[in-house]
Structure 1
Amino acid sequence: MYNKLKSFCEPNKLHCACNTGCSLFNITINKNKNYKLSKILLPVRKKLPGYQFILIITFLLAGGYFDNTACAQHLKNITGKITDAQTGEPLPYVTVFVKLNNGTRKGAATNFDGLYNLSIPANIATDSIYTSYVSYVPARKLIPKATESEINFQLAVNTKMLNAINITPKTYVNPAWEIMANMVKHKPENDLQKLKSYQYQSYNRIEVSLTNMSEKMKQRKVFKQILPLMDSLRKIAGDDGTPILPIFASETISDYFYQNDPLRKTEHVLRTKSNGVGIEDETLVSQLVGTTFLQYDFYKNYLRLAGKDFISPLSDSWKTFYNYELTDEHDKIDGKEYYKIEFKPKRTHDLALVGVMWITKDSYALYRMDASVGQDANLNFLSKVRIQQEMAQPDGTTAWIPEKTRITVQIAALSKSTSGFICKFYLSNTGMQVNKEYPESLFKESLVMSDDVSKKDEDYWAKNRHDTLTAADKRVYQMIDTVKNLPIVKTYAALAGMLINGYYKIGKVSLGPYPYTFSHNDLEGTVVRFGGITNTHFSDKLILGGYLSYAFKDQKFKYSGSVDYIFSRKPWSQFGVSYLHDIGQTGYQYESFAINGNNVFNASIRNGQISTRGPFFQNVIKAYIQTDLVPNLRARLNFTHSTFDPLTPFEYHDPEDYEKVYHTYQTSEVGAELQWRPGIRLLQSSKINKRITVGNGGDNPTVTLRYIHGFKGMFDADFNYDKFFVNVQQKLHMGILGKGEYSLTGGYIPSNVPFTLVENHRFSFNTMRFLEFASDRYASLTYTQHMEGLITNSIPLLKSLNIRTVAVVDILEGSLSTINNEAFRHGRTIVDRSLGAVPYVEAGYGVENILKIIRVDFLYRLTHLDHLNGRGELPDQFATRVTLQFRL
């Protein structure tokens, strides 16, 4: 009977689905009750005698065809989630398997969210389940006896594997090279940049957590209140995971539109929700880290990560920077085969990535990417950066668009007594449409917030989330609620906000900026200053501010007060008035086109030997109005009346009446300014009383035009004059060469004025003496090249210290009209302050990233080496500059 049944079934290709009981006869057992038995038994009935057919029916009944008892007794179904033990991030593409008696394996792979489902047959060789994934330590766990089980893994990074070196013979031809060459060849048809336009709906989720909390930190009062929550943290982390303390979580849904030729893009934020410690405006989070922030195109030669350019493993120069290994030529995903290639940088300190990617076999397109910044990369504070991406091909095109992206950023502890941070970003794109026509009006604003963007509606999220929150995800939200309401946590959050913003909020008033609190200089001695500004708890339109300081040497009070009013946030429009009574410095008066004010720098120049910088007492009344004409163009109109009362000897002879001498003077001027920042994003917030901008459109320049006219006789002003200025500044990302920064300024003053009202250039030139040169027409260029690790990554000692090199050049071409130069000769000094026909040039080199925060520049004065000062002294030809900076 057995042989006859076997001889019938094998040629008819009937197989057993559950590999049990009936497998001896290789007959397919279908668990679907709707499947008709006659589809299998009819051909059997035609070929076998009646009694044998009856025996088959009897066997099938005993074997469990109708109730599946045999299969249920032997099959085990295992589900679970695999995460990184340290960060808690889901690990996609991990192989999960059991070993079979015949020496083979049965396995499954985790999906993008780290989830797997594995049906385990009866003929396993061991009672364990295993995991395997590149750069992680393999793991093993016992299989429970239950039919349905959940087994979660927390995998540890295999540092030895990451540092492994492969040695191959010179004659070796890497099979991955041909695949990579074809991939580069097919970039034009696979890259989404070929599309005329595209759109999709995006869902992104963000989580920020504290991790690696030191024992010293746990003893602090704030964490003693949190320690009872540690049991919940351990449950979230898993048996082998590192507990992390969530402090912020958010979700955002938005529609994203992109158009080529001309390049336009816009994001319409539909809904956002967030919960976190110290979050002032939850809608800002969705604007700061929306869809645009999470977009990465690996087909580009460089990827912008943390403001730095990382070499893409799909770069046109892939063979120059990376080593590749074809680990599987027939890796199957959802029934389709892919090339699986591992890669790592040739020089470990380069800004490059390490990981694994999957490439389609038909079109050589990128399908999946799992890439991390190498542990030895020349970066500060970031101990881990990882990008996981899965692509999709929309209908009607050969191009591929990211469907799911996950980014994990781990920030190392600044000291042994603090903690680190983990930031997780998840992006899912659905409803992709390509090559549609869009009206120009759609791109009028780069960021649009819906009217009900922050509406509380859990039903909306349940219906519109692109995935489902797990039980662990829900515990994260609950834990944040508990943590943020602890009084001590609120205090720490306020202190952290002070460090970032410069102000400490107390109710309706924010005190600061704190860098100005104490200063010391040779004229005033020790100075103590107390200041503040109102916040949105006082008013979201009216802003009151000011400060009061006292100098112990000259025993004088200095003070300031201001009133600002925001009459529109879209477009941003405001006006204000202020009054100031304090010391000014001629050497730091002008040539300031900083986009964002630097409180640390402005506070630092109030220290030291200010008597050499042309100090003077000033009373300044100022009024202004500004508005955004369009999102990228800001207009500003100023009126300023000021007095000049010098603290060092000063006299100015009127060029039209030499007998008239000024020892003090007053000015009244009106200024107009236009600033164009193409590509900038203006963020909208009703809870922060200042114009917030992000980025400047990649490498786009910022252009500022400024005109000033002085009115003689207005409020007893002493001079008529005109001033014209233009400034262009830009940051240039240059790939492996690093990043360049330049500021180009031109100025023209066609009027007769004291030297204190022309341009005194010490502001940007470190080897120039204060008040040494002045111009009423000039052009200046300051340029800095941050070379990252281009040179130092090849020098062992500097490589281990993560030292980076920097180059500097500053050039000034300027002149002083005869009438203004004669005023110097017959006025305060006989020294010629004009550059004449010789440009001023200084150049230098430096090293940065010393102890991660120190930069040292060595600057050389290359021209005007014989220019004497009033005491007949030659200038120094060399200067050293030490600065503190925070650069990743």
Structure 2
Amino acid sequence: MLKHSIAVFFICISLCAFSQIEIDSTSKATTKTQVKDSLRKKVFLENIGLGYFPTKYFNFDLRYLIKFNQFEGLRTGLGGITNDGFSEKYRVDGYLVYGFKDKTSKYSIGGGFRIDEKSDTWVNLSYTDDLQETGSSKFLTDKRFFSFFEPRLLNIDLFHRHITKSVSLQHRISNHLLSETEFSVSRINPTYTYNYIVNDEVFNTFNLSTSQLSLQWSPFSKFEVVDRLVVETKSGFPKFTAQVTKSVSDVFNSDFNFTKIDFRTIHEIQYAKDNFTRLSLLAGMAEGEIPLTHLYHASPNNIRKTKILQRFSVAGLNSFETMFFNEFFSDRFVTFQVKHYLKPFKITQRYQPQMVLITRHAIGNMRSIDQHQGIDFGTLDQLYSESGFEINKLIWAFGLSFAYRYGSYHLPTFEDNIAFKFTFNISL
């Protein structure tokens, strides 16, 4: 636990250097030029907030500077992408990182070319040799999310290595509707003991050829055109995201046939500034011959230790704080989360901690659990529930979190149902 705390300290200190930028929300631009300048400034700050440090020709990617997890230990490297100063029609991106615990380098190299400026249509190519968390699922169209500190990453230990070659088409159907299509060929190698049994054949490594179509619809957001780029100037809710993934066997030596359908919606109810309720619904369904690497977890964030203080770590942004890592996997699931942000306590002009009330629920199942061997886990065939609260910004960006596990998956030992952690929240 001491080395985890040291890692947390150095990660926070290293990344906080990039957080000393404030947005002047009181600016009252009255001319078109001032508005454009303000939007350009916002785009620059959003680059920082999204994890990029922009230079004349190249935007450095802050995600790769320093991270920590249980498999790689300290992970550090460099990465980035060319910007319009380099070319408005072509781009090159990539990264190179090194894990000090597994003593292995990982990298990615890619690029793209724009085929239509008005619809922001790009064709992208990439080659990646890296790790991915088993059971994680991402939407292609997600606006790039960057956090100065990624809490769950510290305690993840279940990764699979993948070598992936992909080609994708990124297209803006309208300002409110984004699409991305990708075809990829991957070689998957779990870093843990795992066998997947299909028709009496045992697989411990496998090939996958997958096609994905992802759509993101933001019907209530507002947009402006700045330097020929469409920029979201007001984030409206609800937002909807859907994605279909299809794998076909024997296409580029793919081993399995399966289909995945994922859906997410996020809604906010605003009462006053900094006083709102956020509701999130996430669902996924997978059918066919699908290994554990590409199934679902419910974003657990609890360490398997016997004492509460031994499990004291960092609360995630949208994770189940009382659910243990690798405790459940599903081939179909639904999670629902409500976070109610109370008005900040205005103790002084600068010191204004904020309480957030939280409740989370999950349900799911798995049809063929016996096909997955070498790792023990349960299913969410009954409702999993936890509730609690956060008090954020007690000391700068640090706060405290408390969650309690109850209902069908309540554990016999009382303290095993409690998660007590600190929070780290910073935004630009």
**TM value normalised by structure 2:** 0.79
Letter of the structure 2 residue corresponding to residue 285 of structure 1: S
Q: Residue 252 of structure 2 aligns to a residue in which SS? A: helix
- In 1, distance between residues paired with 2:196 and 2:280? 32
Superposed CA deviations along residues 55-89 of structure 1, whole A, max 9, x for unmatched, are: xxxxxxxxxxxxxxxxxxxxxxxxxxxxxxxxxxx
Indicate the residue corresponding to 1:853 in structure 2.
397
Which of 261, 265, 278 is residue 728 of structure 1 equivalent to? 265
Partner of 1:172: none
Q: Is the 8 A contact 1:641 1:669 kept in 2?
A: yes
SS of structure 2 residue aligned to 1:283: helix
Equivalent residue in structure 2 for 1:667, among 188, 208, 212: 208
SS at match of 2:256: coil
Change in Cα spacing, 1:578 to 1:604, as seen in structure 2 (3 Å) is: farther
Deviation at 1:632, TM superposition (A): 1.4
Query: Which of 572, 581, 606 is equivalent to 2:129?
Result: 581
Change (3 A) 1:860 1:798: farther
Give the Cα separation in 2 of the matches to 1:249 and 1:653: 63
Say if 2:380 is the partner of 1:835: yes
The answer to whether the aligner puts 1:811 opposite 2:361 as a matched pair is: yes
> Could you tell me how far apart the structure 2 residues matched to 1:845 and 1:559 are?
39
Could you report, residue by residue, the CA deviation over 1:589-610 in whole angstroms, capped at 9, with x for unpaired residues?
216699433222686555x343
The answer to whether 1:540 aligns with 2:88 is yes
Larger relative strand fraction: 2
Q: 1:565 to 1:683 in 2, by over 3 A?
A: farther
**Amino acid across the alignment from 1:507:** K
1:273 corresponds to: 33
Distance 1:515 1:603, change over 3 A: farther
CA RMSD for the aligned pairs?
Answer: 3.3
Work out the CA distance in 2 between the residues paired with 1:609 and 1:564: 34
- Counterpart CA distance in 2 for 1:865 and 1:743 is 22
Structure 1: which 5+ residue stretches go unaligned?
Answer: 1-247, 253-271, 275-281, 290-493
Paired residues of 1:569 and 1:684 also in contact (CA < 8 A): no
Which of 271, 278, 283 aligns to 1:746? It is 283
Give yes or no for contact 1:571–1:630 (8 Å, CA) kept in 2.
Answer: yes
Q: Is the 8 A contact 1:584 1:615 kept in 2?
A: yes
| TM-aligned CA distance change 1:528 to 1:765, over 3 Å | same
The superposition leaves residues 444-486 of structure 1 with CA deviations (integer Å, 9 ceiling, x where unpaired) of xxxxxxxxxxxxxxxxxxxxxxxxxxxxxxxxxxxxxxxxxxx
Task: Choose from 94, 97, 116 the match for 1:568.
Answer: 116
Report the counterpart of residue 716 of structure 1 in structure 2. 253
Deviation at 1:516, TM superposition (A): 2.2
Structure 2: distance between partners of 1:593 and 1:782 = 22
Task: Provide the C-alpha distance between the structure 1 equivalents of 2:140 and 2:336, rounded to a whole number of angstroms.
Answer: 13
* Structure 1 residues 736-885: aligned runs within 5 Å: 738-762=275-299, 764-789=319-344, 801-817=351-367, 820-824=368-372, 827-829=373-375, 831=376, 833-836=378-381, 838-865=382-409, 876-885=416-425
| 1:694 counterpart (217, 221, 233) | 233
Q: C-alpha displacement at 1:809, in angstroms?
A: 0.7
- For 1:498 and 1:628, the matched residues in 2 are separated by 20
Runs of 4+ in 1 over 6 A off after TM superposition: 797-800
Structure 2 CA distance for partners of 1:506 and 1:522, relative to 1, 3 Å: same
Q: Would you say the 8 A contact 1:284–1:684 is kept in 2?
A: no
Contact 1:865–1:877 (CA<8 Å) still a contact in 2? Answer: no
Q: 1:832 to 1:549 in 2, by over 3 A?
A: closer
Q: Any residues of structure 2 matched to 1:297-696 within 5 Å, and which?
A: 499-500=48-49, 502-511=51-60, 513-587=61-135, 589-590=136-137, 595-600=142-147, 606=153, 608-611=154-157, 614-654=158-198, 657-658=199-200, 660-686=201-227, 692-696=231-235
Task: State the shift of 1:585 in Å.
Answer: 1.4
User: CA 1:579 to 1:887, structure 2 compared with 1: closer, same or farther past 3 Å?
Assistant: closer
CA contact (8 A) 1:683 1:693 kept: yes
Distance 2:274 2:82 in 1: 45
Q: Contact (CA 8 Å) 1:678, 1:696: kept in 2 or not?
A: no
Tell me the number of residue pairs that the alignment of Structure 1 and Structure 2 aligns. 383
Residues 577 and 593 of structure 1, relative CA distance in 2, 3 Å threshold: closer
- Match of residue 387 from structure 1: none
766-775 or 519-528: which moved more? 519-528
SS of 2:299's equivalent? helix
Partner Cα separation in structure 1 for residue 217 and residue 273 of structure 2: 29
Q: Which has the higher contact order (CA 8 A, sep 6+)?
A: 2
- Aligned pairs for 1:9-408 (under 5 A) are 252=31, 272-274=32-34, 283=36, 285=38
Supply the distance in 1 between the matched residues of 2:137 and 2:414 (Cα, whole angstroms): 26
**SS at structure 1 position matched to 2:168:** strand
CA separation in 1, counterparts of 2:272 and 2:244? 37
- In structure 1, the partner of 2:15 is none
Q: Distance in 2 between matches of 1:736 and 1:555?
A: 47
Q: Return the alpha-carbon distance in structure 2 between the equivalents of residues 810 and 249 of structure 1.
A: 40
Do 2:410 and 2:417's aligned partners in 1 also have CA atoms closer than 8 Å?
Answer: no
